[in-house]
Amino acid sequence: MDDTPGGPPRRRLLALVAGTAGLSGCAGLFTADADRRRDEERPGDRSTPLSGTPNRPYEADRGPTLDDPGGLVVRNLASGSRYLTVVVTGDEQDVYVESRRVPAGERFAVLDLIGDPGEYGVVVETADGRRASYDWTVTTDLPDLWVDLTPAISFHRPFRCLRDCGSLAAVTTPPPATFPTAVSPAGRRDRTPALWLDNDADESRSVRLRIADGDETLFAAEYDLPPDARAVVPVSGRRRAYRVELATEAGESSEEWVPRLRRTLYGVVGGSPAFRCGLTPHDLVIDNETTDSRTVSVAVTAGGVGVFDRSVTLSPGEARRLPSAVDPRGTLSFEVTTDDGPRERYDWRFCAPRGPISITVGERGIDVTVTPSGG
CB 223, CB 197: distance < 8 Å: yes
Smallest Cα–Cα separation from 267: which of 250, 279, 281, 283? 279
| Cα 223-229-234 angle, rounded to 5 deg | 70
Q: Is 315 helix (H, G, I), strand (E, B) or coil?
A: coil
Q: Supply the pLDDT for residue 373.
A: 73
Helix or strand run (H / E) with residue 156: strand 153-159
- Catalogue all structural domains in the chain, each as residue range(s) with its CATH number: 10-156 (2.60.40.3110), 169-276 (2.60.40), 282-370 (2.60.40.4150)
Q: Supply the pLDDT for residue 34.
A: 38
Residue type, position 259, single letter: P
Sheet arrangement for strand 48-49: 48-49, 93-102, 82-90, 118-126, 131-138
Q: Supply the pLDDT for residue 63.
A: 63
Per-residue pLDDT of the chain (375 residues; tens, 9 = 90+): 333 334 433 333 333 333 333 333 333 343 334 333 333 333 333 444 444 444 567 776 666 688 889 999 999 988 788 999 999 999 888 899 989 999 988 888 888 899 999 999 999 999 989 999 999 999 999 999 999 998 789 999 999 888 888 889 999 999 999 898 766 655 544 578 999 999 999 999 999 999 999 999 999 999 999 999 999 999 998 888 999 999 999 999 999 999 988 889 999 998 899 999 888 889 999 999 999 999 999 999 998 899 999 999 999 999 999 988 999 988 999 999 999 887 899 999 888 888 899 999 998 889 999 988 765
Q: Is 17 helix (H, G, I), strand (E, B) or coil?
A: helix
Q: Supply the pLDDT for residue 354.
A: 82
Measured CA distances, 163 to 67, 130, 140 (Å): 19, 39, 17
Q: Is 148 helix (H, G, I), strand (E, B) or coil?
A: strand
Q: Supply the pLDDT for residue 57.
A: 77
Distance of CA 73 to the CA centre of its chain: 11
Question: CA torsion sign, 61 to 161 to 75 to 280?
Answer: negative
The partner residues of 121 in beta bridges, in order of sequence, read 89, 135
